[in-house]
Chains A and B, each alone.
Chain A
Amino acid sequence: MKIIVCIKQVPDVTEVHLDPETNTMTREGVSAIMNPYDQHALEEAVRLREKLGGGEVTALTMGPPQAEGMLRDAVALGADRVVLVSDRAFAGSDTWATSYTLEHAINALGGADLILCGKQAIDGDTAQVGPGMAARLGIPFVTCVQKVREVDESRLVVERMMDDGYDVLAVKLPALLTVVKNINEPRVPSLKGKMKAKKVEIERLNAETIAAKADCIGLPGSPTQVAKVFAPEARGKRIELQGTLEEQLAQLAVKLVELARGQEVR
């Protein structure tokens, strides 16, 4: 089975903060990591390959040349091949242009039986690129997969996490899944994997080699315009209610009504 895992390099959010002057993320000195959800997607791909006793796992990323380090990490974690889709023309891509670009990259790689993605990236948090790619490729997709129950060469049975439980779905291959964190526990990289990662050849694709149209990629190909980015002001107003639980609930109801009427809540 040919599996492609889409991974993204993201800033380590535990280290990121917004510059209050410019309202942009300060990325200086912030280390880049593999998007945590994508680590689970990669782990699941490697487990499926192990379970099926063969196949190929390709880790694919779209990003600047610095993403090479993350691709080497992907090899240490079990990927067989790594592909970097990189071009200055991709700069400023929104989820629409990114889905377009990745779809073209996947086609340039000859397609796949299964495409795995993390549920979302922790920087943009849109969760749109996975389903966007599937729609473009014309294949079925399941989001928020928490377990792959059955797998063979033609279909999968998966569990989709829901707010109040989970759905069990059978899906024909080729298909795309986005996964949640409780699908597995990503392994620790192996010594042999790390040695292999040091030497692995990173395959490169660009706008030309994936035959992308100039008006569909990067900023020109991105219908989403960010009007403003700002950190909401911390307001700090706090009202403490006193009394028994019933008394507090009664006070709360009054205050909610006042708020709904646009009155100042005291």
Chain B
Amino acid sequence: MDYFLTEEQQMIVDIASQVTDERIIPQRAELDENHTFPREILNEMAQADLFGIPIPEAYGGFGGGCMDIVLAVEQIGRGDVAVGTAFAANFLGSFPIMLSGSEEQKNKYLPEVASGRKFAAFGLTEANAGSDASGIQTTAVLDGDEWVINGTKQWITNGGEADIYSVVAITDRARGPRGASIFILEKGDPGFTFGPKEKKMGIRASSTTELIFKDCRIPKDRIVGRAGTGFITVMKTLDISRPGIASLAVGLAQGALDEAVPYAKQRRQFGKPIIAFQAVQHLLADMAIGIESSRALVYATARHIDAHPKNVSRVSAMCKTCATDMAMKVTTDAVQVMGGYGYMCDYPVEKMMRDAKILQIYEGSNQIQRNVIGQELNREYS
């Protein structure tokens, strides 16, 4: 379908798709099996300027919007959601700086992210603060010219691999969510260490670790925005990052369809290719319907966000939920179409099915997304 992309957007699609076809797809099974962080592929993507897509031109980026991001991420997701997650986490980690950082912080960090010389990460989740972000235990206390940070972040994408971390900590517990602030942590800051790499069901090539802060002292100017504004920045960050997760889902589902259809054409049973059977055709048709409708919603949402409306929480939540639930179903059905072969690790669809699950969970579980949508509906019809 023609989505009327600009010439620049088509360039982004072409570049990202070339990276996926030439670099990611040939390596993904091995990266998954060995839990290898795809640093070489990410460096290649950085060299192709993909890391600079959302970074303003003044800081060495391309100055693109949400639509430009989703186009790139969709193509990478078609190859490997693990690589896509490691890639997209850079944006998640740098959005707080872009949205609320000082001029000095932007000048210092954004060109490094845009060029891919440094990777970024986002640290919000803790053992007791997942869906309920108000349960954050990590604290930051001002001591002279330094902030002293204590606490542990859990399941942080790009943990140990990234150089720049946007970390949420409580600066004033009495004020609840209005007592949260964001800090920029650098790998190597004294008192900042990492837990071991987690073993996961899917997206195994991406790195997921704890961030451990023990009397970690950082300069006073590492706070992003004013103290107490952290939660607002977090919400804004997630609003603009969720379409990225949705586009990973669209790409992943497309990748699964791209495996299932050629298989169904070539696999013969009862004297016919199995695509000749309606039972199989209908599965494939439903997969295609799901992918195209999700893609349309993701693109529409991304373009809506790029028009800078006041509130994007609901549409952002809708596209994340719709596309990621779709990807879970489509990848499951791709395994079904391919039967026993699909279940074997020799074919890529079992990995795709494992990878799909996380999309329904991270960056706000789909249940939390429905809460957001439901609450907004309740408000709208009041």
Contact = CB atoms under 8 A, between A and B. Distances in A.
Contacts of A192: 49, 62
Contacts of B14: 194
A194 B11 contact: yes
A63 B351 CA distance: 47
Instruction: Please classify the interface of chain A as helix (H, G, I), strand (E, B), loop, or mixed, using the class held by over half of its residues.
Output: helix
A191 interface: yes
A190 B48 contact: yes
Interface residues of A, number: 10
Contacts of A194: 11, 14-15
Instruction: Please classify the interface of chain B as helix (H, G, I), strand (E, B), loop, or mixed, using the class held by over half of its residues.
Output: helix
A198 B6 CA distance: 14
Contacts, number: 38
B23 A188 contact: yes
Interface string A186-221: 011111111100100000000000000000000000
A187 B48 contact: yes
Contacts of A191: 8, 11-12, 15, 48-50, 52-53, 62
Contact of A190 (B8, B22, B49): B49
Contact of A188 (B7, B15, B52): B15
B86 interface: no
Nearest to A192: B49
Contacts of B49: 190-193
A9 B48 CA distance: 23
Nearest to A186: B22
Interface string B14-54: 11001100110000000000000000000011011110110
A198 B12 CA distance: 14
A189 B10 CA distance: 13
A195 B15 CA distance: 12
Interface string A26-40: 000000000000000
Contact of A187 (B8, B11, B44, B50): B44
B11 A188 contact: no
Interface in A171-198: 187-195, 198
B275 to A, nearest CB: 26
B19 A188 contact: yes
Given A194-B11, A195-B11, A188 B18 contact: yes
Nearest to A198: B7
B305 to A, nearest CB: 21
Nearest to A191: B49
A201 to B, nearest CB: 19
Interface residues of B, number: 19
Most buried by B among A190, A193, A198: A190
B73 to A, nearest CB: 14
A135 to B, nearest CB: 36
Nearest to B16: A188
B274 to A, nearest CB: 29
A195 B57 CA distance: 14
B16 to A, nearest CB: 9
Nearest to A194: B11
Contacts of B23: 188
Contacts of B7: 198
Nearest to B46: A190
Contacts of A188: 15, 18-19, 22-23, 44-45, 47-48
A193 B48 CA distance: 8
A40 B119 CA distance: 29
Most buried by B among A189, A191, A193: A191
A192 B8 CA distance: 10
A198 B11 CA distance: 11
Contacts of B15: 188-191, 194
A191 B47 CA distance: 9
A254 B14 CA distance: 58
A190 B47 contact: yes
A192 B12 CA distance: 10
Interface string B191-231: 00000000000000000000000000000000000000000
A109 B303 CA distance: 47
A191 B11 CA distance: 7
Nearest to A187: B47
A118 to B, nearest CB: 19
B68 to A, nearest CB: 10
A193 B47 CA distance: 10
A192 B45 CA distance: 13
Nearest to B23: A188
Contacts of A190: 15, 47-49
Interface of B: 7-8, 11-12, 14-15, 18-19, 22-23, 44-45, 47-50, 52-53, 62
7 contacts: A188-B18, A188-B22, A188-B23, A188-B44, A188-B47, A190-B49, A194-B14
In the complex, the 10 A-B pairs of residues with the closest C-beta atoms, listed nearest first: A191-B49, A190-B49, A194-B11, A188-B48, A190-B48, A188-B18, A192-B49, A188-B19, A191-B62, A187-B47
